[in-house]
Amino acid sequence: METKTIGVAVLGCGAVAQRRHLPEYAANKNAKIEGIFDLNQERAAELAERYDCKVYHSLEEAIGDPAVDAVSVCVPNAYHAEYTIKALNAGKHVLVEKPMATSLEESAKIMEAWRKSGKVLMPDHNQRLVPAYKKAHELLQEGIIGDLLFFQCNFKHSGPEGWSIANSNDTWFFKEDQAGFGVMGDLGVHKVDLIRFLTNSEIKSVFAEELTLDKKFPNGEMINMDDNAICMFTMENGLPGIMHFSWTNYGGKEDNGSIIYGTKGVMKIYGDYEDDIVVEMRDGVQIKYSVGKISTNANQLKSGVIDEFVAAITEQRKPIVTGFDGHQALAVVIAAGESSKKGQWVDIQY
Ligand SMILES: NC(=O)c1ccc[n+]([C@@H]2O[C@H](COP(=O)([O-])OP(=O)(O)OC[C@H]3O[C@@H](n4cnc5c(N)ncnc54)[C@H](O)[C@@H]3O)[C@@H](O)[C@H]2O)c1
């Protein structure tokens, strides 16, 4: 049977659209980029020429285009809910960047629009598609390290200002009204989703310390959001763990690694070894897996997110990560902020 080509509109065409969404749609034989919308119309026009598609002049024009079956929402976080809800209500499938929204109220409204629409809603928690994390999920299900005892995850790089299209400290990532969260919502949300995926359990409670150590606005004043977050978690299945997220890892090499401790051994994923996963068994035996590297800001690899989104639409199935997962991860980010303010453990309100 011939697969229908999915018409796509990309909403917001900054760094993530240019480095992942646009090239990965262009390479997907079941997708066709119909058009691009960005508040910066010059940027949209340049990219529309490169990708041989239309320039839309408003969100309404983009989601009103009958050739469009699906949209990618790649605008700053504060606009995710508005764009996602309007696109779902217009009958479009939505791939929304993370975090899915900036409040639980917004996220609940997204979930309501999603349920009513019957469309695919996929938040871009791309760590589930990263080769070593996919493999780790499989190995953990098989019980390679026995019963899980503890986890330790990191996501640390030198900050979003060099990544964002603004390429300066004047980026929206540092503005609370557009970002909603600092590093916890930017990097933390990825690992929160990942640990839910790896352990098949929800996070029950969090104790977090969110810090602003070094990031500054162009005028030299410190930003008023976290550039580091240190978290302790307890999962609903009782598993404890810690995570550190940082925008001040100026060492050159990004740290996106995780260590999972079990009764039979320890699994190190994207750690200091050459191999992507090394399982150190209790008796000293090492089992190594070379399955594929992880993207860094400096070295972009195919995320696989667009292929998964398009496949979920054409195959009429759930994607590997759904609107429900986006909501759960957001709830943990919000609870971490509350814990840091109160200085105490907080149970997650989903
Ligand atoms: N999944 C990931 O790993 C990942 C990685 C990077 C960024 N992101 C997310 O992608 C989103 C975009 O980030 P980015 O790095 O591309 O930012 P960016 O600053 O590089 O680009 C943002 C773009 O949005 C446009 N824009 C701003 N407000 C708009 C609006 N209201 N309507 C239309 N266009 C608007 C800007 O002109 C700019 O072109 C964010 O939510 C971010 O968290 C996700």
CATH number of the domain within which 314 lies: 3.40.50.720
Compute, in angstroms, the gap from residue 72 CA to the centroid of ligand 1: 11
Q: Calculate the average pLDDT of the chain.
A: 97
pLDDT at residue 225, rounded to an integer: 98
Query: Are 33 and 113 part of one and the same domain?
Result: yes
Mean pLDDT, residues 310-323 = 98
Nearest to 184 by CA among 338, 61, 310: 338
1 in a structural domain = no
Query: Are 139 and 158 part of one and the same domain?
Result: yes
pLDDT at residue 241, rounded to an integer: 98
Query: Are 332 and 317 part of one and the same domain?
Result: no
**1: pLDDT confidence band, cut at 50, 70 and 90?**
low
Give, for ligand 1, the residue of 10, 38, 85 to mutate: max count of ligand atoms closer than 8 Å to Cβ. Answer: 38
Compute, in angstroms, the gap from residue 97 CA to the centroid of ligand 1: 8
Query: Are 283 and 314 part of one and the same domain?
Result: no
33 in a structural domain = yes
Compute, in angstroms, the gap from residue 13 CA to the centroid of ligand 1: 7
159 in a structural domain = yes
Query: Are 72 and 188 part of one and the same domain?
Result: no
| DSSP notation for 29-67 | TTEEEEEEE-SSHHHHHHHHHHHT-EE-SSHHHHHT-TT
Residue 184 pLDDT > 80, yes or no? Answer: yes
| Pairing between β-strand 258-262 and β-strand 148-156 as defined by DSSP bridges | antiparallel
Query: Are 231 and 340 part of one and the same domain?
Result: yes
Mean pLDDT, residues 127-140 = 96
218 in a structural domain = yes
**112: pLDDT confidence band, cut at 50, 70 and 90?**
very high
Q: Is 12 in the pocket of ligand 1 (CB under 6 A)?
A: yes
Query: Are 168 and 78 part of one and the same domain?
Result: no
pLDDT at residue 231, rounded to an integer: 98
Query: Are 77 and 175 part of one and the same domain?
Result: no
Q: Is 13 in the pocket of ligand 1 (CB under 6 A)?
A: yes
pLDDT at residue 292, rounded to an integer: 87
Mean pLDDT, residues 176-186 = 98
pLDDT at residue 58, rounded to an integer: 98
Bridge partners of residue 251, in order along the sequence: none
178 in a structural domain = yes
Residue 64 pLDDT > 70, yes or no? Answer: yes
Query: Are 149 and 243 part of one and the same domain?
Result: yes
Residue 144 pLDDT > 80, yes or no? Answer: yes
Compute, in angstroms, the gap from residue 328 CA to the centroid of ligand 1: 22
pLDDT at residue 323, rounded to an integer: 98
Ligand 1, atom nearest to 73 Cα:
11
On whether the CB atoms of residues 60 and 48 are closer than 8 A, the answer is no
Q: Is 98 in the pocket of ligand 1 (CB under 6 A)?
A: yes
Compute, in angstroms, the gap from residue 113 CA to the centroid of ligand 1: 22
Q: Helices marked H in the chain — which ranges? A: 15-16, 22-26, 41-51, 59-63, 80-89, 104-117, 131-142, 176-179, 183, 189-199, 305-314, 323-342
Residue 2 pLDDT > 80, yes or no? Answer: no
Total structural domains in the chain?
A: 2
Query: Are 205 and 278 part of one and the same domain?
Result: yes
Task: Show the domain range for 290.
Answer: 127-301+328-347
pLDDT above 70 as % of the chain: 100
Q: What is the pTM of this model?
A: 0.97
Query: Are 138 and 281 part of one and the same domain?
Result: yes
Compute, in angstroms, the gap from residue 38 CA to the centroid of ligand 1: 10
Mean pLDDT, residues 147-167 = 97
The model's pLDDT over 248-306, given as tens digits with 9 standing for 90+, comes to 999 988 999 999 999 999 999 999 889 999 999 999 999 999 998 888 888 888 889 99
On whether the CB atoms of residues 191 and 149 are closer than 8 A, the answer is no
3-state secondary structure of 72: strand
Q: How far apart are CA 133 and CA 144, in angstroms?
A: 14
Give the CATH number of the domain where residue 297 resides.
3.30.360.10
Query: Are 271 and 147 part of one and the same domain?
Result: yes
Mean pLDDT, residues 76-100 = 98
Q: Is 99 in the pocket of ligand 1 (CB under 6 A)?
A: no
273 in a structural domain = yes
Mean pLDDT, residues 11-18 = 98
Question: Two tokens at 86?
Answer: 């309007």
